[in-house]
Amino acid sequence: MSAQNTIPAFGLYGEQGPFPDVIHFEDFSVRAPINDWRILPHRHSQMSQLFMVDHGWIDATVDGGKYHILSGKFLYIPEHCVHEFVFDPGSEGKIFSFPVNIVRTISPATDQILTALSEPCVGDIHPLLEQVTRLLRDTIGAVSLFRAQQVVGLAHSVLANLAETRLSGNESDQKAKHARLFALDELISKHMADGWSASDFAKALSISTGHLSRLCRAATGLGAAAYIEQHQMQEACRLLAFTQLPVSEVGYRLGFIDPSYFSKRFRAARGQTPTDYRALFTN
């Protein structure tokens, strides 16, 4: 586990500058070899990524979940997820980076497709996905009058393919999140340490607390307060796994003034203490 006390947030890995294009494409060979085929834990707050393995493999950890991605498979990672990779040296593949505004503006932006794109996904690179990503890659590298429009259209086609792959699997019966809940998710991320209540978030969304709770319950079975706490505990897991912040400081960063209450809530949510959870990730 890294000795750092923050989780690095990048545009592209290792970079803090503005996003370089409408959609970004690069091969594994651009960053993996110069980083000794290992990408350290980090996250992207404003983009999702698609990794496609053509040769070799990737061992990926995404928000604590373990994935072994073989040749002919893809891994999709939405924004905010903390992830790290170990690449098979010499492996080959493609990485597409989609700014969150491109993901959110997929048209028509149904609740079902946005829900499917809000969680990590692994699947086979089927012929249609291979075809449309190849066309997207070629268009990104081209020079034409309406290149940006073509890139956005093809990016939406790729994202729709990923969503369809996810929904065709065992998770096809998942409940869809209302569009307002994606706005809520962003607000929770921005105000994690501010101790906002459900009513504060409802006010920021210009809806009643009762309406917010009904939206949360319809999508997840949780009321608004429980939905917000679920996000807090997910962030707690990231901080415990990928930093060495004291447990009390993790709680403070999530708006918990009393460390013992934070530990109590974490144990209720995860079935173990924060210290025991962190021990799972200690080398």
- Per-residue pLDDT reduced to its tens digit, 213-241: 999 998 889 999 999 999 999 999 999 98
Q: In angstroms, rounded to a whole number, what is the distance separating the alpha carbons of residues 126 and 282?
A: 37
What pTM does this model have? Answer: 0.86
Which two three-digit tokens encode residue 169?
Answer: 């699997």
pLDDT digits 0-9 by tens, 126-180: 999 999 999 999 999 999 999 999 999 999 999 999 999 988 865 545 667 777 8
Q: Which of 108 and 148 is assigned the larger pLDDT?
A: 148
Q: In degrees rounded to 5, what are phi and psi of residue 68? A: -110, 105
pLDDT band at 1 (very low <50, low <70, confident <90, very high): very low
DSSP 20: -
Contact (Cβ atoms closer than 8 angstroms) between residue 166 and residue 123: yes
Residue-level pLDDT at 171: 52
Q: How far apart are CA 11 and CA 267, in angstroms?
A: 33
Determine the pLDDT at residue 148: 94
**Alpha-carbon torsion (277, 279, 282, 283), positive or negative:** negative
> Where do the domains of the chain lie, and which CATH numbers do they carry?
24-167 (2.60.120.280), 179-279 (1.10.10.60)
Are the CB atoms for 240 and 280 separated by under 8 Å? no
Range in 14-28, 72-86, 209-223, 226-240 the model is least confident about: 14-28
- Is residue 110 predicted with pLDDT exceeding 80? no
pLDDT of residue 18: 72
pLDDT at 128: 95
Per-residue pLDDT for 16 more than 80? no
Residue 3 pLDDT exceeds 50: no
pLDDT confidence bin for 52, thresholds 50/70/90: very high
pLDDT, mean of residues 84-104: 95
Query: What would the two tokens of residue 31 be?
Result: 């960053």
What are the CA-CA distances from residue 142 to residues 90, 118, 145, 148, 155 (Å)?
A: 27, 30, 10, 10, 15
Confidence of residue 283 (pLDDT cuts 50, 70, 90): low
Statement: residue 254 has pLDDT above 60: yes
| Rounded percentage of the chain residues whose pLDDT exceeds 70 | 95
Report yes or no: 157 and 132 within 8 Å, Cβ to Cβ: yes
> Do 50 and 76 form a contact (C-beta atoms < 8 A)?
yes
Distance CA 164, CA 172 (A): 9
Task: Please state, for a pLDDT cut of 90, what percent of the chain lies above it.
Answer: 73
pLDDT of 174? 60
Q: Nearest Cα to 219, choosing from 163, 167, 176?
A: 176
The pLDDT of residue 170: 56
Rounded Cα gap, residues 199 and 241, in angstroms? 30
CB atoms within 10 A of CB 44: 25
Q: How confident is the model at residue 207 (pLDDT cuts 50, 70, 90)?
A: very high
